[in-house]
Amino acid sequence: MTLRRFLHSPEALAGAAIVSALAVMALVAPLLFPADPLSIAGRPLTPPFQDWSLPLGTDRLGRDVLAGLFHGARTSLAVGLAAASAAIVAGSLVGTAAGFASGLTDDVLMRITDAFQTVPGFLLALAFVSVAGPSLATVVGAIALGAWTGPARIARAEILSIRERDFVAGARIVGMHPVEIALREVLPNALPPVLALSSVIVAGAILIEASLSFLGLGDPNRVTWGGMIAEGRAVLRSAPFLSIIPGIALVLSVLGVYLVSEGVVEASATRRSLS
């Protein structure tokens, strides 16, 4: 029923189409453009649709814009999924420990969470990458460092509700270790609302990665949409397509993830209201 309601939502279908296109671009990029996307492919600043071997033209160095667009989708998707996974795993573990242990452990972990939440995620990522150096792994870690607090708070709230239920008491009676109860019995039941945050974290991660790349703090060995936008900034008047094309791709990707998230939330809320 939830899937049926999702499929009947025009916004959700539009978002799913955009996300699917992003995934296809990421998957076929090495097949359609096996050469290094950072290599020179033609005459510099070739406008779009002037040379059909380079449909979207070239940048200031003669690199293929279309190849960069496809390989940039790989980077955005990889960063978004990796950062969301790391943030959800870390946040779920912290929230589980805080909610299940309670007392001093809960207070300490929640004060640490509060401290991280006071710093905007982008500023935290900017500081972390500036210190650790630009690389894909560093960018993923920096984004996850500012995104784990949301899953942690939601997980804690769910754990506080679940830990008093009968099946948890039964697990204690049969002699299960508290850590085993928390990870095997309680955490799996608290995950659904935490996982609902994943699409929001993915969208935020894509934006933060693009912002870092725009500032020159992205992985220098990978093509990124933020780096492409920054590259076109120097010739914005004479060749605006260099910034407009990756900018449109970035906006559509974030919009697609957001629409999918809204569709899932709406379908789930409708199901709960009917039940």
Give the model confidence (pLDDT) of 84-94 as tens digits: 999 999 999 99
Length of the chain: 275
Q: 């946040």: which residue's tokens?
A: 91
- All domains in the chain, ordered by first residue: 14-35+54-274 (1.10.3720.10)
Backbone angles phi, psi at 44, to 5 degrees: -60, 145
The C-alpha atoms of residue 219 and residue 267 are separated, in whole angstroms, by 38
Token readout for 38 is: 């950072």
What pLDDT sits at residue 273? 45
Distance of CA 257 to the CA centre of its chain: 9
pLDDT band at 183 (very low <50, low <70, confident <90, very high): confident
pLDDT band at 272 (very low <50, low <70, confident <90, very high): very low
- Judge whether 40 and 223 are in contact, CB under 8 Å: no
The C-alpha atoms of residue 88 and residue 195 are separated, in whole angstroms, by 7
> For the whole prediction, is pTM greater than 0.85?
yes
- Judge whether 274 and 5 are in contact, CB under 8 Å: no
Token readout for 28 is: 């076929």
The CA distances from residue 32 to 27, 49, 61, 106, 139, in Å, are: 10, 18, 21, 51, 27
What pLDDT sits at residue 173? 81
Residue with more model confidence, 129 or 164: 129
pLDDT band at 44 (very low <50, low <70, confident <90, very high): very high
- Segment 93-139, tens digit of pLDDT: 999 999 888 889 899 999 999 999 988 889 999 999 999 988 899 99
The C-alpha atoms of residue 244 and residue 133 are separated, in whole angstroms, by 28
The C-alpha atoms of residue 10 and residue 32 are separated, in whole angstroms, by 31
What pLDDT sits at residue 214? 94
What pLDDT sits at residue 70? 96
pLDDT band at 12 (very low <50, low <70, confident <90, very high): confident
Backbone angles phi, psi at 93, to 5 degrees: -65, -45
Question: Residue 274: is its pLDDT beyond 50?
Answer: no
- Segment 203-227, tens digit of pLDDT: 999 999 999 999 999 888 899 999 9
pLDDT band at 275 (very low <50, low <70, confident <90, very high): very low
Q: How many CB atoms lie within 10 A of CB 173?
A: 8
